[in-house]
Amino acid sequence: MKLSTVLLISGFLILNIFPGSAIAQVEIGPEDIPTEAGSILPFYVLADPEGIEVDLGFGGEDREWDFTNYEFDDVEYDSLIAPEDAPNGEDFEDANRISLSSSGGIALNFGDSYQYELINDDGWFLLGTGSTMGFGNLNFPIIFPEPILLLPMPAEFDEEWDMTGSFAYGMEAPDTLMGGILDSVYIVIEVGGEAETDAWGTVRFPSGEVETIRQHVLLGVEIYAVGVAEILGRRMEFPIDLGLSIEPTHSYRWFAPDYGLLVEINSLPGEEEEDFELAASIRVRYLAPELIFQEESLEFGEIWQGGSNSETITIANNGVGDGRIMRIEPAEEFTEQISWDVELPYTISHEEETEITFRWQPEEYGELETEIEIFHNDPVLENPLVVSAHCTSLLRIEDGGSLNAQEFSLHQNFPNPFNSQTIITFNLNNSTETKLEIIDAAGRQIAVLAEGLFTSGQYDVTFEPDNLPIGIYLYRLSTGKSVLTRKMIYLK
């Protein structure tokens, strides 16, 4: 066999036996970084000087990260500023992106600061910053003689680069500094560090799921000042404590096409381990959902002893980001009696609507009222949203009679959608020949779950699909005089 044929067959086997090797890597180009002046980029923010537990995962190819389970404290905004609106904009003629952010791109984050940046086919560069340094309320530009490379362009997996830069600024000394004896002051900022693109893969965040590339940065910043005075004909220097100290910090940043910076996690100052487990801050890009709860109350009706009823609420998402139901909390006394058919946290994609079915199996008797708290990620709505719930729990008499007449009804299956089994509940108001069957979308009978003479009462029937394809099915309850039909969704 020819060598070329062997190589061709080997390549085919590698692509099919190890399909991950054929997955295209993520690449970030200049067009993927937002630059339009006037843009507002919102971020969820979580910060704690004591540390936040994080799982950074591993570096490498085709990884997955999930940032959907955090409950964020706040939302902050990065703003893209036109040059004429930015202080000292005239000092950065080459800047084509100016941002006002509380997160400095290279750890120069003393609160809100201006970042003057240049993005071209070679890379994303930091030309300088503008920040109030807490020194005599002076605001001056920090112009790096050589731009600092924030991200090469195109940004690809497994690249490394240096992030070293320095700045020195001289100014006339304020009269209020050291009794006015100083003639001038020099402020020096030295940045030292390195960066790499160490992973790529899928990020799940509260607003969706996107492909990203990850950057790891280890950076330290030294800031010091020197005052100069001429005393008795001699030039003398005096160190000035600016009260600023930035220990080396590990940072991980995930970048996505069209979004630019998507997620940023910064270690506690002085962290030595690059796979740290406690972070000082987490910032995650935020796209607003617009959740509309179409029901504010649940009427479960009459529920007989040992039985249960289910009710459904519909939630629509008219926003641009994914909505999420984070937690559902019934009142404490009903925690074991009220359940729901979705696994939390539960995502509602933008421009879609969904149903959540609640099931109440009361243990007490009489008129029961309670409230259910639904925690979500829509910043406009009251959070949690409180939904009222009501039912009448009826006591069944031992001889087979009942305190009230039962009604003929067929309830929504629970859970719905389902993937292994679901429960179908129906009520009969008298003894009658009854049939409960499953029908596919074409009207063909799939299964008969119950058939024969049934006395009045409530019945729960379990349906377990056997080798059925996923899809929408109907279940039909028929007696001698009446027929009721409902829809259910089967998902594997």
491 part of a folded domain: yes
Give the three-class secondary structure for 146.
strand
Domains of the chain: total: 3
Q: What is the CATH number of the domain that holds 491?
A: 2.60.40.1930
DSSP line for 233-272: TEEEEEEE--S--EEEEEEEEEEETTTEEEEEEEEPTT--
Distance CA 237, CA 188 (A): 14
Evaluate the omega torsion of the peptide bond into residue 30 and state whether it is cis, within 30 degrees of 0: no
Per the domain annotation, does 310 fall within a domain?
yes
Domain match, 344 and 429 both: no
Indicate whether 20 belongs to any domain.
no
- Nearest CA among 282, 261, 286 for reference residue 380: 286
Per-residue pLDDT band at 159 (split at 50, 70, 90): very high
Could you report the per-residue pLDDT of 4-20, keeping only the tens digit for each? 333 333 333 333 333 44
Question: Do 416 and 276 share a structural domain?
Answer: no
Q: Which domain holds residue 311?
A: 288-399
CA angle (34, 128, 47) in 5-degree steps: 65
Residue reference for tokens 């970084």: 33
- Residue ending a domain, among 399, 430, 456, is 399
Which tops the pLDDT comparison, 449 or 7?
A: 449
User: Is residue 5 in a domain?
Assistant: no
Calculate the alpha carbon distances from 26 to 39, 51, 193, 211, 287 in Å.
25, 31, 24, 7, 22
Number of CB atoms found within 10 A of residue 374's CB: 21
Asked whether residue 21 is domain-assigned, the answer is no
CA distances from 467 to 420, 423, 446, 463 (A): 11, 18, 11, 13
| pLDDT 10s digits, 387-413 | 999 998 876 544 344 434 457 888 888
Q: Are residues 84 and 206 in the same domain?
A: yes
Same domain, 326 and 427: no
Handedness of CA 402, 403, 405, 408 (dihedral sign): negative
Q: Are residues 276 and 340 in the same domain?
A: no
Residue 470 is classified by DSSP as S
Determine how many CB atoms are found less than 10 A away from the CB of residue 312. Answer: 16
Please tell me the least confidently modeled range out of 136-150, 152-166, 188-202, 376-390: 136-150
Domain finish residue from 369, 399, 429: 399
Quick one: 123 and 261 in the same domain? yes
Report residue 2's pLDDT band, with 50, 70 and 90 as the boundaries.
very low
Phi, psi of 318 (to 5 degrees): -100, 10
pLDDT digits (tens, 9 = 90+) for 65-88: 999 888 876 888 889 988 888 888
Does one domain contain both 218 and 317? no
In the chain, the N- to C-terminal Cα span, in Å, equals 45
CA distance 412 to 487: 8
Residue 341 has φ and ψ, to the nearest 5°, of: -100, 20
Q: What angle do CA 384, 387, 393 make, to 5 degrees?
A: 140
pLDDT at 379 over 80: no
Domain identity same for 154 and 178: yes
Read off the CATH number of the domain in which 327 is found: 2.60.40.10
End-of-domain residue from the set 262, 285, 308:
285
Nearest to 429 by CA among 450, 412, 405: 405
Residue 96 and residue 221 share a domain:
yes
pLDDT by residue (tens digit) across 220-244? 888 888 889 888 888 888 888 776 6
The two three-digit tokens of residue 364, written as one number: 């007490």
Judge whether residue 372 has pLDDT over 90: yes
Model confidence at 245, pLDDT cuts 50, 70, 90, reads low
pLDDT exceeds cutoff 80 at 298: yes
Backbone angles phi, psi at 31, to 5 degrees: -70, -10
Specify whether 155 is located in the same domain as 188. Answer: yes
The stretch 143-161 carries a mean pLDDT of 92
Q: Which of 118-132, 161-175, 344-358 has the lowest mean pLDDT?
A: 161-175
In a shared domain, residues 391 and 409: no
Quick: pLDDT tens for 267-291: 998 898 999 999 999 999 988 889 9
Q: For residue 3, is it within any domain?
A: no
More confident residue, 475 or 165: 475
Cα–Cα distance, 446 to 439 (Å, whole number): 5
Chain segment 253-263, per-residue pLDDT in tens? 999 998 899 99
CA angle, corner 423, sides to 419 and 428, nearest 5? 155
Q: Which one is predicted more confidently, 99 or 379?
A: 99
Q: Is residue 1 part of a domain?
A: no
Question: Are 327 and 265 found together in one domain?
Answer: no
Domain contains 173: yes
